[in-house]
Amino acid sequence: MTPAIPIDSLPAFLERNRLRQERAEWGWEPGAEPTVYVSRLQPALPGLPPVEQEAKPSPPPVPPARPSKLALTLAGMLRQAAARPASVQSKNLFRGLRVDIMVGIDGQTRLMIARKGVYPSDAEWVTILSYWPYDPPDMVPEKFEYKQWRCMRAVWPTPEVQP
């Protein structure tokens, strides 16, 4: 005896049977994955103009990039050093790197980076200068030792207007 099929599931039952018949005609075996997928979209007929697609909305505008944490830190240190001439602004950064900034009353900006026991790398020096609030002049840092600290420093004229 065949089980009774509720009326509301009859369209789904008929659709399943139709798909089973189509699969059998195509030679598809139950449990096997098809290797060719047939699109149910109507193909374009030769001689007919192509169907115009609706214009997709443009993506939302990209917000301006936020300054990095290092850039904000250096800008804040430089601002404090300029507000208090001849006072050293020091900050310990990632993995033991220390940055000292001083804007002197003689109109010179002094930057020093240091580590305990080992010199900071040239890449760290370049990174600090690349995030500097303004473009400092090209220079080779002086390397020196002070107690257990290995340091790199440079001095350049302070610009009249700092950003």
Report the 10 Å Cβ neighbour count for 76: 14
Residue 39 has what pLDDT?
Answer: 46
pLDDT exceeds cutoff 60 at 6: no
pLDDT of residue 2: 55
Residue 163 or 139, more confident: 139
Q: Identify the pLDDT of residue 57.
A: 72
Give residue 48's pLDDT: 60
Q: Which of 122, 119, 81 is nearest to 100 (CA)?
A: 81
pTM score = 0.59
Rounded to an integer, the average pLDDT of 61-83 is 86
**Total residue count of the chain as it appears in this document:** 163
29-59 tens-digit pLDDT: 666 555 554 444 455 556 666 556 566 677 7
pLDDT digits 0-9 by tens, 123-157: 999 999 999 998 888 889 999 999 999 999 999 99
Question: Locate tokens 């890449």: which residue?
Answer: 123
